[in-house]
Amino acid sequence: MSRPHTLDTADLLPRRRRDWLFALGVTIVSTVVVLAIVGPYVGPYDPTMTTPNVSMPPPSLSEIPGLFGAWVSGSLEAPPHWMGTDASGFDVFSRVIAAPRTDLVIALVANGLSLLVGVFLGLIAGYYRNAATELMMRVSDVMQSFPVFISAMVLVALAGRSTTNIVIALAFVYTPIYVRLTRAEVMSQKVRGFVEAARALGNTELSIAIRHVLPNSLTPALIQASVTIGFAILLTAGLSFVGAGVRPPTPEWGLMISTGANQIILGEWWPSVFPGIAISLTVFGFAVLGNALERRYDAS
Amino acid sequence: MHREAAAVSERPEARAARAVLSVENLVVGYPVAGRMVKPVDGLSFRVHEREVVGLIGDAGSGKSTAALALLGLARAPGKILGGRVDFEGRDLLKLPDAEIRAIRGRDIGIIVQNPRSSLNPMLRVGKQIGYAYQAHNEANAATARRKAVEMLRMVGINDPESRAEAYAHELSGGMAQRALIAMALSSRPKLLIADEPTSGLDVTIQAQFLDEMWNTVQRTGSAILLITQELGTLANYCDRVLVLHEGRIVEDAPVKQFFADPQHPYSQQILKLQRERGTSLGLPPIYTGTKPLLATRDLRKTFAVRHTKKLIQAVDKVSLQIGRGETLGLVGESGSGKTTVGRCLLRLLEPSAGSVVFDGADLVKLPPTDMRRYRSKLQIVFQDPFDSLNPRWTIRQILTEPLDLHTELSTSEKRRRAEELIDLVDLDRTLLERKPRGLGAGALQRINIARALACNPEFIVLDEPTSVLSPRARVGLIELLVRLQKELGISYLFISHDLTTVRYLCHKVSVMYLGQIVETGTVEQVFSRPRHPYSQALLSAHLFPDPSNRRVDQSIPAALEGEIPSPIDLPHGCYLASRCPHVVDECRATPQRLEPVGEGQEVRCWRAAKGDIQAFGGVHG
Amino acid sequence: MLFRYIAKRFAVGLLQLIGLTIAVFFLIRLLPADPVSRLVGMNASPEAYAQAAKQLGVDRPLLAQLATYLGFQPDIAPGLLQGSLGVSWVTGSTITSEIATYLPVTIELVTLSFILALAVAVPIGMFGALNPGGKADKGVFVYSLFAGSQPEFWWGLLFVYLFFFTLGIAPAPLGRLSPMSSPPDAVTGFMTIDALIAGQLDIFVEALHHLMLPVITMAFILSGPIIKMVRQNMARALQSDFVLYANCAGLPKERVARYALRAAMAPSMTLIGILYGFMLSGAVLTESVFALGGIGQYSISAVLAYDYPAIQAVVLVITAISLVVYLALDLIHAAIDPRIAF
């Protein structure tokens, strides 16, 4: 006998003190979201403008409290460079907190798009099994076997390095995943007892598909989405790193790491390390969130 | 086949028999949201040498948890919290790992509910049995294999040499269960724990299996602790009965005494119908009017097998009639087509041929929009109560869905109707705001019934509604169904493999085999004087809860051999010909038709109609 | 039975590759980039432009170009049917020879990373599953989530800073060998194997030394999902009915552990295949950081230079290898688990 797999909103609240991991994930993700909204405005410097201080290292740990006090009391002429500046003179800190907007917007829009298209196609492919849907699945398979990074790179580089194109490239890469996930879930939900019961009550097939099957088939896709958003950020950063992503001087973590890479050998670590820490924590936060949702889903 | 005589507990020497197993105050718990839930809470009982002790109780978890705990095991996240399990003078719960592993399998064997998932799916069956044997006996691979084949033969598997090479997923349920027994008994344990070993098996296979288990155990001299939800199993195989309720044993009595005079209120609840109705067969006949409410003629349903050109004739020329306020039982084993008939009546499956006339209209000929309107009058309740309800909807939404579809009631009127419905099935109104999650099977099934009643149907198909319920929930549901029929005048088609429940609920009954109706009549006629060889076999295989007539104490006449054949490639003549003890050449040559044998009883067997076959093997009144 | 399945997979794979090739062919030509002007420069004269266009073959209609590419017009130029991947628009050499140089680098990198990752991650994952809920298990779990979500290019740089710049135990990220050493004759294309074949043990060690950091970087990233998967599968196997029953039958601990292990490894195979295919493409980033000159870097330069034949060839080759790897791992999976039938 099968127990139903569901995930209600009641499940999303963290339970018990031991779920610190989930709380951590939520904290990280909310911070990034907040930065995406206000980041470009709250930094001490304009993230797209250079300063005359080139390659300045960040203050050492012992200096920070004093510097902070001086800054708050207003006795400094210019705000300190908390994370130093890079070889072009950009303030690293301002750019690090301005970058989430670029990365998150791309990741969210791309995922939203592929989720919408993917779920819609997956619902159709799962519900009707005929030549047309089989063909669609073969096409989706082919799309999925494209080497991810290289295809994204090709799409963006050849269409032009704009945010829109990055979004389209990512959506292209991620849609087959959602199609496959949704289709599998629809196929297994379609034969559930309550679907047959709905038919016996006199529902039309369309009504069954929308009111009964669809809401119960979304969970795997949604759980995947929270993880894929993180991967989309990684992908955007990677693309920018190799020069096939956003254009300078847009603040973007991957781009910052790439421009800072040349300095690493010379020992100037700060232009690359700080943005790296930022990505590292952000994607980790999304992964934790996705995993927590997955665990709740498995447990129910 | 003859069996050992009287129950162990009645033999004079039993008084002095030693206790093989002695359990004292066993406690098993698992943490849920910070608390500790204890399905086993102070369990104490004994099992003596060569005794067959039955353990009955509510929904699965308590009993199986207890069974595992006897071996010192607990499924994660459960833990054994206390108590003593004394086996041959040693407390199993305090033994170090190596020692208790030696006892498991060698001195105490166990077989469990889901045999196929309990076998290693990646190893051949013979090899696994061999490993189990090697764990407790000095043997090399060749000896182990020989032993495995020997055990498979002993538990009644034909062609054990090749069966030993099979993988778990290639075996049928019955075979897999026998493989487990072979493994469990391979080292001749002193005690066999059988945890609901026949759940999911067909009636005739159940009987075969339990008979064989019983015989094998007589040969190995083991005692059995038989855990079950079926009163029939208790009555026919056990010497003594233990009742598990709320984590402890509330009654411990010899089997005849238990059925005759149960002491504890919980036992009385389980035995309620048994004691009220006693040996009466079926409900008293009612006047149903001259025209039947629902009648099918020559209903047929064929399925195509994927990737081949073969066809399965699931339902073959079935004609039924059900009057107003009447209950027709439809019984049979797997492959009989009874479930398919139920679905065809409602056009959840499209019949391949035939008519379904309801209140004058042939449903099969209706266009989809008209058919949808009729759906308020014909409803169905499915077997799995959990799966039939949308897990994301509240109970209120579930109950008002049919009202949205078929009525023009206002929101407040719908609210009131939902409350009426939930009252009608004896459930609390607070459930309306909840979702199905967390509710028990009995409650969920009542909700399914309430939903079916929403638009005042005239006819309800009940597809094995009680088969997954515990004994107490089963009693409650049957009483509810009878009461609703009396109050509302609804007709039922009651599909089941459980003849005991059919007996409590139905006026008439039809027996199906491989898509055909082989016998039809009132419950009294068919159950006490079955004419068709298949009905006879079914009834004699069915374990009625009557300890004075134990199966193991009698010789069983006219048993059917073999397993149910595949519904593809059905023979030209009688479908039962390959298994029937009364078969002659003419049976194989001519297709059989239903013929009346007096007073409304019909049989599909020319020999029975002629009177060649004695009517016997049924339930004696 | 088995043969038919493999043949069927090959046939389907071939169709997929053809579909892929055609799709990529059209896709990149639909994009607004102009490879001709990339080649001749922005200020070329119309004649020079036309000349270059003719040379590249882009003045012909699209379908004709596709036909030639596929090999249906061998007198104009060899195509796929003849086994030719075309000629690079940038360097002029046959792409097949270029890929033969660059591809083994990536395969060497990815394969070595996988070996290291599996050797480390599988025992850790099993350890976590065998001690569920304990502190070690929790740590293992958090580590797996963390490692799997890291940007490998950044970690590569970190490792360079740490091990090269600070500690000096790793070589400079300037390629597969130091600029002063000469590589052995290319037999297989795998630096390590070729060095062994040529008997140059010092080159062998140096190649490994240079591979050290990139392999560690990739193995680190790979360890995340592998640990997560092994741990999950092992935990599931340990809680399964048949493991419970094996304990009920009194089987010795080692036997039960082997039951669980086999049940855990079977479903893991498919994921390993998918990861491998994913990494072949993702190796790009690590290759750039360490200047290894693998197919990833080749593809970057091809993309930035709008070298269409090279781009197509890279996509084709990597996908083909991925499909072969998937097939191989699915076969291993079926070998372990008899429930998978063909």
**β-strand partners of B227:** B55, B195
Q: Element (H or E) spanning B327, and its range?
A: strand B327-331
Same domain, C78 and C100: no
Q: Which of B370, B387, B389 to mutate to test the interface with A (most CBs of A within 10 A)?
A: B387
Which residues, listed in sequence order, are joined to residue B57 by a DSSP beta bridge?
Answer: B244
Whether the pLDDT of residue B506 is over 60: the answer is yes
Under the phi-then-psi rule, with left for phi > 0, alpha for psi from -120 to 50, and beta for the rest, what region is C120? alpha
DSSP label at residue B568:
B
The pLDDT-based confidence of B451 (bands split at 50, 70, 90) is very high
User: Is B252 strand, coil or helix?
Assistant: strand
B369 — pLDDT class (breaks 50, 70, 90): confident
Which residues of chain A are within 8 Å of residue B386 when distances are taken between CB atoms? 1-4, 193
Beta bridge partners of B193: B110, B225
Q: Indicate if the pLDDT at residue A300 is higher than 70.
A: no
Give the 3-state secondary structure of residue C13: helix
Instruction: Report yes or no: C240 at the B interface, CB cutoff 8 Å.
Output: yes
B606, with CB counted inside 10 A (0-12, 13-18, 19+), is middle
Do residues C133 and C42 share a domain?
Answer: no
Based on the fold, state whether residues C279 and C331 are members of the same structural domain.
Answer: yes
Euclidean distance between CA atoms B56 and B59, whole angstroms: 10
**Sorting pLDDT into bands at 50, 70 and 90, what band is B618?**
low
Same domain, C131 and C259: yes
How far CA A238 is from CA of A245, B172, B395, in Å, comes to 8, 53, 49
Name the band, by pLDDT with cuts 50, 70 and 90, for residue B60: low
CA distance A4 to chain B (A): 6
Q: Is the pLDDT of residue A8 over 60?
A: no
Could you say which residues from 117 to 176 on chain A have a Cβ atom under 8 Å away from some Cβ of chain C? Answer: 138-139, 141-142, 145-151, 153-155, 157-160
* Contact check, Cβ <8 Å, B402/A193: no
Question: With 70 as the cut, is the pLDDT of residue A5 above it?
Answer: no
**What is the mean pLDDT of the segment spanning C247-265?**
89
Considering only CB atoms, A147 lies closest to which of C16, C150, C281, namely: C281
* B361 shares contact with chain A (CB less than 8 Å): no
Return the top range by mean pLDDT from B187-201, B398-412, B567-581, C323-337: B398-412
Amino acid B61: pLDDT? 57
Angstroms from C244 CA to nearest CA on chain B: 8
pLDDT above 90: residue C21: no
Instruction: Output the domain CATH number for residue C318.
Output: 1.10.3720.10
Q: Residue C91 falls within a domain, yes or no?
A: no
CA A170/CA A151 separation, integer angstroms: 9
Cα(B87)–Cα(B598) distance, integer angstroms: 59
Q: Are residue C53 and residue C101 in the same domain, yes or no?
A: no
Nearest CB neighbour to A201, from listed B387, B392, B402 = B402
**Rounded distance, CA C15 to CA C26, Å?**
17
* B113-132 mean pLDDT: 90
Greater confidence, B184 or B579?
Answer: B184
Tell me how far apart the alpha carbons of residues C115 and C111 are, in angstroms, rounded to a whole number: 6
Lowest-pLDDT choice from A106-120, B340-354, B371-385, B582-596:
B582-596
Structure confidence by residue, pLDDT tens digits, C166-190? 888 888 777 778 777 777 777 777 8
CA distances from A87 to A53, A273, B281 (A): 9, 14, 95
Look at strands B248-254 and B378-381 and give their pairing: unpaired
In a domain, C187, yes or no: yes
Q: What tokens appear for A96 in the block? A: 């690090």
Residues of A within 8 A of C298 (CB-CB) are none
Separation CA A142–CA A153 (nearest Å): 17
State CA C96 to chain mean position distance.
18
Query: What is the spatial distance between Cα A210 and Cα A190, in angstroms, rounded to a whole number?
Result: 11
Mean pLDDT of B559-577: 75
Q: Is A146 exposed, middle or buried (0-12, 13-18, 19+ CB in 10 A)?
A: buried
| Domain end position, chosen among C55, C82, C109 | C82
Given a cut of 50, is residue B541 above it in pLDDT?
yes
B16: confidence class by pLDDT, cuts 50, 70, 90 = low
Give the span between the Cα atoms of C135 and C116, in whole angstroms: 25
CA separation for the pair B469, B268 (Å, rounded): 17
C132/C277 same-domain check: yes
Inter-chain touch C241–B169, beta carbons under 8 Å: no
**Residue B568: pLDDT above 90?**
no
Which pLDDT band holds residue C72 (cuts at 50, 70, 90)?
confident
C37: domain range?
Answer: 2-82
pLDDT value at C8 more than 90: no
Same-domain status, C164 and C25: no
Nearest to A294 by CA among A47, A41, A50, A5: A5
pLDDT at B617 over 70: no
* Cβ-contact B21, B200 below 8 angstroms: no
Nearest to A162 by CA among A109, A95, A216, A198: A109
Q: Are residues C53 and C176 in the same domain?
A: no
What share of chain B has pLDDT > 70, as a percent?
94
Q: Looking at residues A156-168, what average pLDDT do you find?
A: 86
Q: Is B51 exposed, middle or buried (0-12, 13-18, 19+ CB in 10 A)?
A: buried
Please state the rounded mean pLDDT for residues C57-68: 80
Q: Which of C52, C82, C112 is the last residue of a domain?
A: C82
- Confidence band of B254 (pLDDT split at 50, 70, 90): very high
Alpha-carbon span C141 to C125, nearest angstrom:
8
Per-residue pLDDT at B616: 63
Q: Which segment of A253-262, C173-182, C322-331 scores lowest on mean pLDDT?
A: C173-182
In 10 A of CB B66, how many CB atoms? 26
Give me the pLDDT at residue C221, please.
93
Cβ atoms of A91 and A150 within 8 Å: the answer is no
pLDDT at A117 over 90: yes
Residue B418 has pLDDT above 90, yes or no: yes
pLDDT value of residue B346: 92
Phi, psi for residue A93 in degrees, rounded to 5? -60, -50
Lowest mean pLDDT, pick from A122-126, A235-239, B413-417, C330-334: C330-334
The chains in contact with chain C, meaning 3 or more Cβ pairs closer than 8 Å, are: A, B
Task: Return the ∠ at Cα C73 (arms to C70 and C74), rounded to 5°.
Answer: 95
Mean pLDDT computed over every residue of chain B: 85
Whether residue B620 is predicted with pLDDT greater than 50 in this model: the reply is no
Per the structure, the count of domains in chain C is: 2
C74 lies in the same domain as C207: no
Residues paired with B32 in a beta bridge = B35
Average pLDDT over residues A260-286: 87
CB atoms within 10 A of CB C27: 18
Q: Which two tokens stand for residue C202?
A: 């010092």
Q: Is position C89 within any domain? A: no
In a domain, C308, yes or no: yes
DSSP B280: -
Burial A99-134 (b: 16+ CB within 10 A, else e): bbbbbbebbbbbbebbbebbbebbbbbbbeeeeebe
Q: What is the mean pLDDT of chain C?
A: 85
Overall average pLDDT of the B351-356 stretch: 91
Q: Report CB contact under 8 Å: A138, C19.
A: yes
Q: Which residue has the higher pLDDT, C44 or A214?
A: A214
In the three-class reduction of DSSP (H, G, I as helix; E, B as strand; rest coil), residue B109 is classed as: strand
Q: Residue B379: what pLDDT? A: 95
- Going by C-alpha positions, the residue among B549, B546, B570, B575 that lies closest to residue B560 is B575
- Cα gap B617→B527, rounded to integer Å: 9
Interface of B with C in 148-187 (CB under 8 A): 167, 169, 180, 183-184
Which residues, at least 6 apart from B531, have a Cβ–Cβ distance to it below 8 Å? B519, B597, B601, B603, B605, B608, B609, B613, B615
How far CA A181 is from CA of A115, A286, B110, C226, in Å, comes to 10, 19, 40, 21
Residue of C nearest to A295 (CA): C232
For the record, the structure tokens of B383 come out as 């077997």
Q: Using CA atoms, how far apart are residues B357 and B363, in angstroms rounded to an integer?
A: 6
Nearest CA in chain A to C15: A142
Q: Is the per-residue pLDDT at A6 higher than 70?
A: no
Determine the pLDDT at residue B559. 59
Q: Do the chains contact at B118 and C132, CB–CB below 8 Å?
A: no
Same domain, residue pair C65 and C155: no
- Which structure tokens are listed for A132? 């047309």
Task: Count Cα atoms within 13 angstroms, Cβ side, for B422.
Answer: 22
- Asked if the bond preceding B77 is cis, omega within 30° of 0, the reply is yes
More confident residue, B306 or B246: B246
C142 part of contact set with chain A, CB < 8 Å: yes
Do C266 and C336 fall into the same domain? yes
- Last residue of a domain, which of C47, C82, C117? C82
Name the closest residue on chain B to residue C264, using Cα atoms: B122
Residue C269, in any domain of the structure: yes
- What's the rounded mean pLDDT across residues B414-418? 93
C263-313 residue pLDDT tens: 888 888 888 888 888 888 888 899 988 888 888 888 888 888 888 888 888
Please state, in angstroms and rounded to a whole number, the distance separating the CA atoms of residues C143 and B441: 41
Which C residues 183-222 touch A at CB under 8 Å? none
Residue C87 falls inside a structural domain: no
Q: How far apart are CA C63 and CA B234, in angstroms?
A: 79
Closest-CA residue of chain B to A17: B34
For the ranges A73-87, A96-110, B498-512, the lowest mean pLDDT is seen at: A73-87
Largest CA distance in chain A: 78
> B17: exposed, middle or buried (C-beta count within 10 Å: 0-12, 13-18, 19+)?
middle
C281 — contact with chain A (CB < 8 Å)? yes
Residue C90 lies in a domain: no
Say if residue B14's pLDDT is above 60: no
For C99-155, the pLDDT digits (tens) are: 888 888 899 999 999 999 999 999 998 888 888 777 888 889 899 999 989 998 999
- Residue C339 sits at the chain B interface (C-beta within 8 Å): yes
Residue B91 has pLDDT above 80, yes or no: yes
Has residue A4 got a pLDDT over 70?
A: no
CA dihedral C84, C88, C89, C93 (to 10 degrees): -110
Asked, for residue C291, whether it belongs to a domain, the answer is yes
**C60 and C123 both lie in a single domain:** no
Q: Provide, rounded to the nearest whole percent, the portion of chain B with pLDDT above 90.
A: 34
Name residue, tokens 């006693």.
B278
Q: Is B608 exposed, middle or buried (0-12, 13-18, 19+ CB in 10 A)?
A: buried
Q: Is C259 on the interface with B (CB under 8 A)?
A: yes
User: A242, C314: Cβ pair inside 8 Å?
Assistant: no
Label residue B412 by pLDDT band (50, 70, 90).
Answer: very high
